[in-house]
Amino acid sequence: MSKTYPQFLLFGDSIIQQSSYLRDGYSFGAILAEHCIRRFDVVNRGLSGYNTANAMVILQDIIPPPNYAKVAFMLILFGANDACLPDSPSSQHVPLEMYRQNIKDILTHPAINAHNPTIFLVTPPPINEMQIWDGDHAKGYPTITRRQSVTAQYADAVRQIATESKNDKLVLIDLHSAMMQKAITLTPGYVEGASLLGTLQGGDSVALKTLFNEKRNPYMLFLAVDGLHLTGAGYKVFIEELLPHIQTPPFIFPVWTDAPRIDRE
């Protein structure tokens, strides 16, 4: 019987889907695959536009049966679309309490429990309202479709779920806090307690008013032109939060000096 590599399964929305893309010369997927090479197969099951309501329906078709492949690690990141405002034309909104329950149900789904994987539960990253509104306005939408403060509530729900979980193999990856903190440290003159970075109100500050024109603004490092999807630097923050938590076992096949071989006369 052939040997199979255990899987590192990434499950989420477009932020996961695009993690395999090359962004500004950087690829989250390539870095993760290098870290896992010869130990795990990294499998990207990111689905652009999906929310937790969608995820609940397809989850059983995403997870392989244990007799096909062992899922050793699973990373879960949803919330960017769930946090769309209720009146958003996209109809992607999932109410906060329903989102909370959906995440809990995903974490305890029988298809996942069958593998007993280490689960990395990720908070949805922050947004930038000015870029969101720029795109929404161009589409003819009368109001903005996402708010930084609302996305923060969904991130906080994930933190609470991780804190309350009794699964000792559940690891919180607080991408939202990591990116906000990085942005704060790179924002000249930022005052603690000032307007939240990435909001329309915060955009009037000296630090954010040049967002669209000058790269010195920290959000230019993290958010692509739509204010939602990550740049290469944003994915770099993501991978730096994740890698310290990944334990790497020995190679599936031994190093070449110990590799089995057939010698022929």
Query: Where are the domains positioned within the chain?
Result: 7-252
Name the band, by pLDDT with cuts 50, 70 and 90, for residue 187.
Answer: confident
Mean pLDDT of 86-115: 97
Higher-confidence position of 77 and 181: 77
Mean pLDDT of 79-86: 98
Higher-confidence position of 19 and 206: 19
Report the C-alpha gap between 37 and 34 in whole angstroms.
5
Query: In the structure encoding, which two tokens stand for residue 72, read together?
Result: 């050793």
SS3 (DSSP) at 223: strand
Residues 6+ apart with CB under 8 A from 43: 7, 8, 9, 10
Q: Tell me which residue of 133, 151, 124, 152 sits closest to 234, measured CA to CA.
A: 124
How far from the centroid of its chain's Cα atoms is residue 81's Cα?
12
Give the residue numbers annotated as catalytic, written as ranges.
Answer: 14
Overall CATH class of domain 7-252:
alpha beta
Confidence check: pLDDT of 220 > 90: no
118: amino acid identity, one letter:
T
71: amino acid identity, one letter:
V
- Of 14-18, 132-136, 187-191, give the lowest mean pLDDT range: 187-191
**DSSP code, position 123:** P
Mean pLDDT of 60-81: 97
Report the C-alpha gap between 148 and 155 in whole angstroms.
11
**Top mean-pLDDT range of 24-28, 37-41, 135-139:** 37-41
Report the DSSP beta bridge partners of residue 242.
Answer: none
